[in-house]
Amino acid sequence: MPLNDGRPSTSTSDDQNSDTESSERCDSMTSSSDTECSRQSFTSGSSSKHSSPASSPPKIVTFDELMTAARDLSNLSLAHEIVVNGNFKVEQPELPENSLERKVKEIVHKAFWDRLEAELNEDPPVYEYAIRLVEEIKEILLSFLNPGANRLRNQICEVLDMDLIQQQVDNDAVDIHGLENYIITVMGKLCAPARDDDVKKLKEISDIVPLFREIFHVLDLMKMDMVNFTINNIRPQLQMQSVEYERTKFQAILDQTPSALDHTTEWMKESLDELMAVKPCTSPSTSNAENHTSGIPSPMSVLNKFYIKLLDWDCQKKVLPETLMTDETRLLELQKSLELYKAVAAVLLIVYNAIGGPISGLPVLADQLKKITSVLLEGIHIKSFNRTEALENVSAQICTELNKSLTERGYPALPAHVQVALTGQICTIVHKDNSISNLIDERVHSYMKLSIVPNSHTQPPANLGGLALIQPELEVIRAQFNSIVNFNKQVYCPFYGKILRKLLLSEAPQGTAEAGTPSVCAE
């Protein structure tokens, strides 16, 4: 039944709130003025709504408030996706093949089209449903027009004048085929070039009911084209105002639901506790932002720990911080890639340590071993993945490839006992206490931390110590992580500052000066 499903709303102009002062003070994370602004955000007891979010006392959240917060979150998620994902587009929803919703939809649609066909087959034909469809098509076509397209708008309203068509129906003079042909002509003028073939195919259909059905199908595709065209048009405007927009939206959510930072606070508290359990670093080479003061970690060190913990986040056991909900899919994909290549690095490190010189300095062999390992371990992030079996297959394939390379260059093939020992070492990387896996994990964390340490323009070290063979893939992951973290800092630093100020002051000895606490937002 071709009822109008409505076009997804992509307009965010009425939700945007431009606050020039706040934008100048907090949006740029590379400006030198940010340090002073962020320090004020962290230490000042009173500031603007956006630069220092106001806390709310516990209260009962009404249903209307909950729905308002849900709409704000939906708008925030959509705007964030449009800004950070250049390939984002809306697609026609596809219901699961055997789902109840799909079956109900098919039954209702079939009943509608059967009713329409029965009406048109009566003598004389009844055009009640057909006229309703024409009226709906008219509204859809008008919705595609730009505000200045007055000429085509007037033409559509003149040809598809519903009062006139009703008079024609009453006098048995209506030309349904003529109306359909005109509709197809207008669709050809309004559709994107990608839909030209779809519109041409409509002209080949002669029966009224199948033609109506296909017209609505193509109109649905045109709706998606229009939505995606609108998204591409508003993306530059959203990008210019994205930080302030997202911050404002999240503050609106926080106003409606004061518990909207509970999980973020929990993550921050865990990060602080983990740092407090480690002996403070007093090395003069340590960054000022990372130094502990009086045994209390700095805000920046807690925030860095907060972000690094995302790399080990288990979505089955722990809820993601609210401030990173809009990046959940990206973080899961990043985790998936990181877990795969950490396993690849561990396997290759074992192989090269065990075999040594005969296979060193052979980039083609290294690439082949990496390819074999990454293909066979694809899906290692899945809980049901049989890691032991996969690693046994990896070992067998690697041994075959090594023997082939060694014999081709005049070396003896690997003895059976060496292959068994190599297989045993590779299969143990799944154990939590495996020293190779733990070493790789530690070095990956250090490598990824380069993305988030303030004032760090340090290039990745030349000697990656076990990570060299996966450096190209690791650098792509690091760039993705850097993008997520930096944008998140810009938007949510005021919220983090408020949380950290409470956490750190509760840990600080009495008499510690609040104003002396380093800024969480300093770059």
The two tokens of residue 342 are 């950490």
Which whole-number Å values give the CA distances from 329 to 73, 77, 236, 480, in the listed order?
16, 11, 23, 12
Q: Do residues 490 and 26 touch, judged by C-beta distance below 8 A?
A: yes
Tell me what the mean pLDDT of segment 3-32 comes to. 39
User: Can you tell me the distance from the alpha carbon of 358 to that of 351, in angstroms, rounded to the nearest whole number?
Assistant: 11
Q: Which residue has the higher pLDDT, 314 or 395?
A: 395
Say if residue 367 is exposed, middle or buried (CB neighbours under 10 Å; 0-12, 13-18, 19+).
Answer: exposed
**Number of neighbouring beta carbons within 10 Å of residue 246:** 24
Single-letter amino acid, residue 337: S
Tokens 């955000």 map to which residue?
Answer: 41
Single-letter amino acid, residue 21: E
Tell me what the mean pLDDT of segment 360-383 comes to. 90
Taking only the tens place, the pLDDT of each residue in 73-111 is 666 677 667 667 666 676 777 777 788 888 888 888 889
Residue 55 in this model has a pLDDT that exceeds 80: no
* Residue 293 β-bridge partners: 296
Q: Which helix (H) or strand (E) holds 48?
A: none
Q: Do residues 390 and 377 touch, judged by C-beta distance below 8 A?
A: yes
Q: What is the dihedral of CA 304, 305, 308, 313, to 10 degrees?
A: -140
- Split at pLDDT 50, 70, 90, the class of 138 is very high
User: Can you tell me the distance from the alpha carbon of 123 to that of 186, in angstroms, rounded to the nearest whole number?
Assistant: 31
**Number of neighbouring beta carbons within 10 Å of residue 481:** 23
φ, ψ at 296 (rounded to 5°): -100, 125
Taking only the tens place, the pLDDT of each residue in 307-350 is 999 988 888 888 999 999 888 888 999 999 999 999 999 999 99
Taking only the tens place, the pLDDT of each residue in 244-275 is 888 888 888 888 888 889 999 999 999 999 88
- Split at pLDDT 50, 70, 90, the class of 155 is very high
Tell me what the mean pLDDT of segment 12-26 comes to. 39
Q: Which residue has the higher pLDDT, 505 or 162?
A: 162
Which SS3 state, helix, strand or coil, does residue 293 take? strand
Q: Do residues 406 and 413 touch, judged by C-beta distance below 8 A?
A: yes
Closest by CA to 347, choosing from 401, 415, 416, is 401
Of 10-24, 133-147, 364-378, give the lowest mean pLDDT range: 10-24
Of 13-17, 314-318, 331-335, 383-387, give the lowest mean pLDDT range: 13-17
Residue 177 in this model has a pLDDT that exceeds 70: yes
Tell me what the mean pLDDT of segment 473-491 comes to. 88
User: Can you tell me the distance from the alpha carbon of 278 to that of 239, in angstroms, rounded to the nearest whole number?
Assistant: 40
Q: What is the DSSP string of 163-230?
A: HHHHHHHHTT---HHHHHHHHHHHHHHHS-GGGHHHHHHHTT--SHHHHHHHHHHHHHHHHHHHHHHH
Bond prior to 358 in cis (omega within 30° of 0): no
Tell me what the mean pLDDT of segment 484-506 comes to. 88
The two tokens of residue 387 are 């890691």
Q: What is the pLDDT of residue 27?
A: 40
Residue 396 in this model has a pLDDT that exceeds 70: yes
Residue 361 in this model has a pLDDT that exceeds 80: yes
User: Can you tell me the distance from the alpha carbon of 493 to that of 322, in angstroms, rounded to the nearest whole number?
Assistant: 13
Residue 289 in this model has a pLDDT that exceeds 90: no
* Angle made by CA atoms 36, 40, 46, in degrees to the nearest 5: 155
| Average pLDDT of the chain to the nearest whole number | 78
User: What angle in degrees, to the nearest 10, is found between the helix axes of 150-159 and 128-143?
Assistant: 180
- Split at pLDDT 50, 70, 90, the class of 67 is low
Tokens 């023997």 map to which residue?
Answer: 403
Helices then strands, counting H and E runs in the chain, come out as 18, 0
**Number of neighbouring beta carbons within 10 Å of residue 74:** 12
User: Can you tell me the distance from the alpha carbon of 260 to that of 255, in angstroms, rounded to the nearest whole number?
Assistant: 9
Residue 495 in this model has a pLDDT that exceeds 80: yes
Closest by CA to 302, choosing from 454, 440, 441, is 454
403 Cβ partners below 8 Å, 6+ apart?
413, 414
Q: What is the pLDDT of residue 284?
A: 42
> Full-prediction pTM beyond 0.85?
no
Taking only the tens place, the pLDDT of each residue in 430-478 is 888 889 999 998 888 888 887 676 555 555 554 566 788 898 898 889 8
Taking only the tens place, the pLDDT of each residue in 217-234 is 999 999 888 888 877 777
Say if residue 93 is exposed, middle or buried (CB neighbours under 10 Å; 0-12, 13-18, 19+).
Answer: exposed
